[in-house]
Amino acid sequence: MTENCNECSIAWIRGGEYAEVSAHNGSKMKGRVLKLAEQHPEDVKILVTNKDGSIFAHVPVKYVKLRAPRELTEEQRAELIERGKNMSRNKSVDYEETSGFDSDDEDEEMFDV
């Protein structure tokens, strides 16, 4: 890749086992490929990390997936936002309930054997 290149590309040959992925430094694609390489080192191979931080990798063709963005109505969007807020509130309540563990008896063993 050339200096200051912002190009990401995915290429594969029909019937091939892997796709070639090229991603510039700081791109979402690079982050996704690196994460997949950590999770699936037997499948995803980072072949080159260039001086500019860009990568060239092989990933299984079955990992390549294109999808359209989700289209939501304003009502659906508001519902998802509210659901997220509720989940966040519930997490903080659960944390507060479990973080204040205090035993009445200081000599009491944690586990009775």
Question: In the predicted model, is pLDDT for residue 22 greater than 50?
Answer: yes
Predicted pLDDT of residue 110: 46
Predicted pLDDT of residue 111: 47
Helices marked H in the chain: 28-39, 74-99
Give this prediction's pTM. Answer: 0.59
* Number of CB atoms found within 10 A of residue 14's CB: 5
Question: In the predicted model, is pLDDT for residue 47 greater than 90?
Answer: yes
User: Bigger pLDDT: 28 or 3?
Assistant: 28
- Answer yes or no: are the C-beta atoms of 5 and 52 closer than 8 Å: yes
Question: The tokens 């000599």 sit on which residue?
Answer: 107
